[in-house]
Amino acid sequence: MRAPDGRAGAGILGAWRFIFRGARRIRWWCRGFTIGAWRRWTAPTLVARAQYKWEDNRIGGSTAPIRTEAGWLVLYHGVETVNAAMRRVIYRLGAMMLDLKDPTKVIARCPHFVMAPEEYYERFGLHIPNVIFPTGAVVREGMLYLYYGCCDTSISLATVGLADLVRHVTG
């Protein structure tokens, strides 16, 4: 779903919610407004910030949140600086669970990434090596289909049982 300004979002608890990176590149914000009142934004709420070594450079949104019985499953990208002088980084996938009734509250978060560049096409590309960047997720018959970009040169698909991933995150 898209708001009039073009941002992707989801209708959660009667309001549109948007998760995006804040100005300092390590903050993640959740903003909402009442459906039908496009100009009434609420004040931004800090949802999460980078806290692990594998995301020391920044974190940011990935796919839209996925509603599960345990909460809102949020996948996000974390970027680790490997060599600052050479501007070398690694993009990985993290996962957290937000409260169903209060999606600004993190109720579980994996301290380790759940996916990382491994294949040749994920590690070597046109501009930036070592990048996986999920942008789309579909749940069908209990499976999560995760579509992700690889090094700005290709698109790939990963699958995982949704219940397995939720157990891993809430573990």
The pLDDT confidence band at residue 129, using thresholds 50, 70 and 90, is: very high
> pTM of the predicted model, to two decimals?
0.84
pLDDT in tens, 141-171: 999 999 999 998 999 999 999 999 999 999 9
Beta carbons within 10 angstroms of residue 36's beta carbon: 7
* Whether 33 contacts 42, CB under 8 Å: yes
The predicted structure's pLDDT at residue 3: 46
Instruction: Name the strand (E) or helix (H) holding 13.
Output: none
Neighbours of 79 (CB within 10 A): 22
> Residue 56: which residues within 8 A CB-CB, separation 6 or more?
50, 79, 80, 81
Specify the length of the chain in residues. 171
Calculated CA dihedral for residues 133, 53, 163, 160, nearest 10 degrees: 40
The residues that bridge with 81 in the sheet, in sequence order, are 89
| Domain-located, residue 108 | yes
The count of structural domains within the chain is 1
What is the residue range of 71's domain? 48-170
Q: Is residue 148 part of a domain?
A: yes
Hey, what are 120's tokens? 């040749």
The answer to whether residue 27 is domain-embedded is no
Asked whether residue 89 is assigned to any structural domain, the reply reads: yes
**Is 159 domain-assigned?**
yes
What average pLDDT does the segment 97-119 reach? 94
Residue 41, in any domain of the structure: no
pLDDT value of residue 149? 96
- 61: which residues sit within 8 A by CB, 6+ positions away? 19, 20, 21, 28, 76, 77
- According to the model, what pLDDT value does residue 139 have? 98
6 within domain boundaries: no
| Mean pLDDT, all residues of the chain | 83
d(CA 10, CA 32) in angstroms, rounded, equals 9
> Is 22 contained in some domain?
no
CATH number, residue 120: 2.115.10.20
